[in-house]
Amino acid sequence: MKILSVFAVLLVALTVSAQAQQTVPTSREQVRLTFAPVVRQVAPAVVNIYTKRVIHAAASPMFADPVFRHFFGDVPGMTRDRVQSSLGSGVLIGADGTVVTNHHVIKDADEVTVVLADRREFEATIVGSDERSDLAVVKITSKGETFPTLALGDSDKIEVGDIVLAIGNPFGVGQTVTQGIVSALARTNIGVSDFRSFIQTDAAINPGNSGGALVDMDGKLIGINSAIYSKDGGSNGIGFAIPTALVRNVVASISKGGKVVRPWLGAGGQAVTSDLAQALKLARPQGVLINNVHRDSPAARGGLQNGDVVTAVQGREVDDPEAMRFRLATLPIGGDAVLTVLRDGVERKVSVRLVAPPETPPRDQTDIGGRNPFSGAVIVNINPALAEEVGIDSGQTGVLVLGVRHASLAQRLGVQPGDLILRINDKPVASVADAVQLLAGERARWSITVNRNGETMTQVIGG
């Protein structure tokens, strides 16, 4: 009985103590939760970006018809200029007026205007833009002005569940702040850029937010808002931001030379599926199975082999080729990357030197003329540097159609930019020189074979 009494006394004491701690708030400060201090810190560095583009359009559809232009040429008044305007957001990351935004915000712009949170307006110039990462850098035109900036945070340190704020100019209503959490990391199946490892958030992101800031509770920039998943154009709570791990490297490269040069690994592979994991006797599906190591590439020199499974780059896990490509793109040229590799069931480290993709063989860019199926096409030899620029496998070789002139014979026959020329008149094409030689002269019958988006197609022209 005494033991029960002691327990009863302890229970009453604990209950009273808990009730004392759960008192009713006596002031507004005790119940208020606010992000205002963070917003006050970061909002001045988030800007609105307005662009203008002059479009030369035919005054009538008839004037755009190739047959009409062939017989009548240019007729006065047949074109009419109109100005197309668009809006987006950006982030000041340099006190000198350096702004980072999305490529698609300033694409083809003739004029760029940056509007600060205090409503001051400045003209700006495009320093450089990278379509493959959907990032761009613009510079405010001013003399002696010092601008507020937002410090770049470390996107690799954030976790799912972290609270974040999205700041931008949705629908042009003005600067707007929304709050949410990090819903997921390393989303690689979002096809809005070639380097896919997005931060997913449920903070409301809408049209006009593109290029704006995703910030953490320390007031640091962790991502550039880039895209949303939506069926009607509005926010459904699924937004995507480009991590600062990539932003930092792209901005540095653009600021240094106006264009982005990324490291070349010289190896390709595929994601390890459950079937592959079973065949490779792996505990679980993970990593990238290397199946194409290019001769004399950094990967080959570093000792990477076909059949290796790359599970991490610089200690960061990778589960598919997109994630591996992203991790390499965040690293500067001139250093080394350490790849964690599974080979015959044994984990090992492979060190790879990070170098720029080479221009070997020379591109030998050639504009094809004459009377042949490729007349009006611009063709080039594929090398790693070109492959990087146009976003194809860096190990691809052969001859690529880089462009096709409007109303040319090649365009009328359906030749498209990106076509890989395989054969002309049943003879293989390995270089631009081969193609020029095989296209020389006139023939009554032509046979061309190209690879388009992985599909091989043959077309016969003439008798």
| H or E element at residue 91 | strand 79-92
Can you give the C-alpha Rg of the chain in angstroms? 28
| H or E element at residue 20 | helix 2-21
Set 86, 130, 134, 197: catalytic member: 134
Cα four-point dihedral sign 367, 372, 374, 375 = positive
Closest of 373, 390, 386, 269 to residue 318, by C-alpha:
269
Under 8 Å between Cβ of 126 and 135 = no
Is 133 one of the catalytic residues?
A: no
> Please, how many CA atoms are within 13 Å of residue 280, restricted to the half-sphere of its CB?
26
Say which amino acid occupies 202: D
Alpha helices in 94-191 (DSSP H): 103-106
Closest of 223, 206, 126 to residue 168, by C-alpha:
206
Set 86, 210, 253, 394: catalytic member: 210
What's the rounded Cα separation, in Å, for the pair 89 and 285?
A: 39
Helix, strand, coil in percent for the chain, rounding step 5: 25, 35, 40
What's the rounded Cα separation, in Å, for the pair 80 and 159?
A: 52
Closest of 226, 229, 233 to residue 102, by C-alpha:
226
Look-up: residue for tokens 């232009």? 69
Is 134 one of the catalytic residues?
A: yes
What's the rounded Cα separation, in Å, for the pair 43 and 40?
A: 6
Q: For 371, phi and psi rounded to 5 degrees?
A: -110, 85
DSSP string, 373-430: TTTTEEEEE--HHHHHHHTS-TT--SEEEEEE-TT-HHHHTT--TTPEEEEETTEE--
Say which amino acid occupies 260: V
Set 86, 89, 104, 130: catalytic member: 104
Q: For 72, phi and psi rounded to 5 degrees?
A: -110, -10
> Please, how many CA atoms are within 13 Å of residue 54, restricted to the half-sphere of its CB?
6
Q: CA angle, 389 as apex, 305 and 48 as ends, to 5°?
A: 125
- Catalytic annotation, residues: 104, 134, 210
